[in-house]
Structure 1
């Protein structure tokens, strides 16, 4: 039987003689055949499912899109060894101080030309408050540098994660970039085009279709949440995290609100306790800080008090299963 074995195995893809389906029916046999074949092959039904964007966008394919929205970032984060994160939220409208100063000067000049314009008066008042808050850009950048400096000390596993946009998020990513460390951005698809900030690690910037899956990835690896002054989006992420911790849907993590003066006015937790809509212990789910090093030392102190390692796997809850 061994004498019947071919001297060489067949090639992996090439053949000496093409199979019948490798050539379309020729016009010599039916003059309509080439056009009919072309129409068949151009039909959306002929596209492979994973290449058919129109099919994937159908309402009844939402379950598959949800799965892809989760699985692509998860696979790539695992491949890059991103095990733990410090999540930073904050306003996209708080720019670096030089830009804030330039925008303030432009408002002042515009009002000087038309001092009775109430719209310009309001714009100037806001520009002054934004310029005052621009110091948080530098604080977030300094904090990003601190976390970035830890990356090598923790097996390249602890990184800054932001929403990937401008303002405070840009500052935190920029600080990690200054330190030569990687950082992650979780962008979201919106009706109007948006751009990631330039300081993200290119292979670690992801764009989500669903807010829900983006939120999941924010917290899946989170070892702390650091929240700078911000608007609806910032508060959305803050209150969702506090709710998950309050209900123990996730294992508690440190939550730091940067800028006590801002947060005490934006979020009156004592009022909620007095009104009986949260318990006194819920007031202790977060604390305030003002400077980058204070934020970092507070997070480390929280872990020491909890008897946990910031880069150790979090204790599992029933919600994780």
Structure 2
């Protein structure tokens, strides 16, 4: 704790230190005697879920505030998109054919980070899911530009660690998908979406739903790869059925290159 105390009570760290040097007795060795905030077994109890939700909301928010991050550019996209050098090892030829989007993501992030650094590197900071594929490309592009980028990982059975290019002090790990998605959008000034699977679709449609229902201020939503997106979503059929309005098709636009996307974002 730095600076003068705002109250006359002991600091939590001070009490934790004191509790660790107490005499060992049957009472002090009992789990019930542990300070609640230092008792991981207690914090993991089902009844503490609301507290864990709040902690997961607060920790990234506070640390990004302390890092001076004022706005972000979101990059959603598939973990399975290979780098072009690895396209022949992709699980399907179709997936290998999407490998050029790795380079476009990398180029887009590099361009946006170079622009961000002109104003101190705290605005339009690249944020990805912190994993492989398109996410790795985004963090790599920011790293190559000499800037910082954020990684919002989540505990999954098949993505063990963040990619190597996330800025370490801006690397976060989540238990709750819902809180993670809030952090993607809380500072977003633009959202880019590359080809991906269920997770990417979930992130895209949540963002569009929030904007459609005016629960979030409008921001540019750029879908990389018109051919891909039109092949998996029949946007016009949704309009024709009346399940969305014609103006809902204006929530997004298609782009093909990092250069094109960066120009749109920077031009506002």
- Scaled by the length of structure 1, the TM-score of the pair is 0.74
Alpha-carbon shift at residue 267 of structure 1 (Å): 1.5
The 1-side partners of 2:22 and 2:95 are apart by 67
Distance 1:23 1:136, change over 3 A: closer
Match of 2:183 in 1: 217
- Give the Å deviation of 1:155: 2.6
Flag the 1:133–1:44 CA change in 2: closer, same or farther, 3 A: same
Correspondences of 1:48-67 after superposition (within 5 Å):
48-67=35-54
Equivalent in the alignment of 1:43: 30
- How far apart in 1 are the matches of 2:199 and 2:126? 18
Is residue 22–residue 28 contact of structure 2 (8 Å, CA) maintained in 1?
A: no
**Preserved contact between residue 259 and residue 288 of structure 1 (Cα < 8 Å):** yes
Equivalent of 2:112 in 140, 144, 147: 147
Which residue of structure 1 lines up, in the alignment, with residue 209 of structure 2?
A: 243
Deviation at 1:97, TM superposition (A): 1.1
SS in 1 for 2:138: helix
Rate the CA distance shift 1:75–1:262 in 2: closer, same or farther, 3 A: same
Structure 1 Cα separation of the partners of residues 159 and 120 of structure 2: 36
Give the deviation of 1:150 after TM superposition: 1.4
Structure 2 runs not aligned, ≥5 long: 1-20
Quote the residue 1:274 is aligned against.
240
Task: Report SS of the residue matched to 2:28.
Answer: helix
Q: Is the 8 A contact 1:100 1:127 kept in 2?
A: no
What secondary structure sits across from 1:194 in the alignment? coil
Change (3 A) 1:195 1:275: same
Q: Which runs of 4+ in 1 moved over 4 A?
A: none
**Greater Rg by CA:** 1
> Deviation of residue 164 (structure 1)?
0.4
Q: Distance in 2 between matches of 1:212 and 1:193?
A: 18
User: In structure 1, how many angstroms separate the alpha carbons of the residues matched to 2:94 and 2:252?
Assistant: 25
Counterpart for residue 232 of structure 1: 198
Q: Shift in Å at residue 282 of structure 1?
A: 0.1
Gaps of 5+ in 1: 1-21, 25-33, 105-125, 304-321
RMSD, matched Cα = 1.5
Cα shift at 1:208: 1.2
Deviation at 1:191, TM superposition (A): 4.8
SS state at 1:252 partner: coil
Match of 1:307 in 2: none
